[in-house]
Amino acid sequence: MNKLARLIYGLTASFVFLPLNSFAIGNFLEVQFSGELLSTQCQVSATSINKKITLQNIRWQYINEHGSSAITPFTIEIEKCVQSDLNKIVKFTWESSNLVTIGNDKFLKTQGPSGVLLGLVDGDELPLTWSQAMKIGKVTTVKGEQQFNFGVYVRKPAVGDAKVGEFTGTATFKVEYE
């Protein structure tokens, strides 16, 4: 039901309960409105919360010879957007306290014996800007799920070589709508 129809329905419902003589003698009528302001109905989908990305078949020799692996794509989904959310700009802010800067780019430090770093990129394969809101796209889907593309790759350490072994890295993100 659109806003005007809801307003008309609400006013009609309010008037039904007033005594008829209130209309006849010219008294003012009181109409009370209430609501809640939300920035958006959109939510990060359950599959994107605490997401785990597995990087497979990465050879340490390849990393040491070429400097980094191929990009492994992943997505973050939003859902439950409504008509009023359409065309809102979606911004992601990526955060981590475990970053190292090499040149102009920041990489995520990992835990584990390999010593590798992780590079995160946006859907255009450009490095993420950390700790700052980045425009990622617009809301284009109502009620369904909308995906935003990202990628991650393994990079050898700034000094020395990558070693055989497991690694993990963790980052957080925040989504904003404008």
> What does the pLDDT average to over 78-90?
90
* CATH number attached to the domain at 43-177: 2.60.40.1090
Question: And the tokens for 119?
Answer: 């590079």
pLDDT at residue 13 is higher than 70: no
Stronger pLDDT, 16 or 84, i.e. the higher one: 84
pLDDT score at 101: 95
How many other CB atoms sit within 10 Å of the CB of residue 128?
A: 23
pLDDT digits 0-9 by tens, 34-74: 555 555 678 889 888 888 888 888 898 999 999 999 999 99
Structural domain boundaries in the chain = 1-35, 43-177
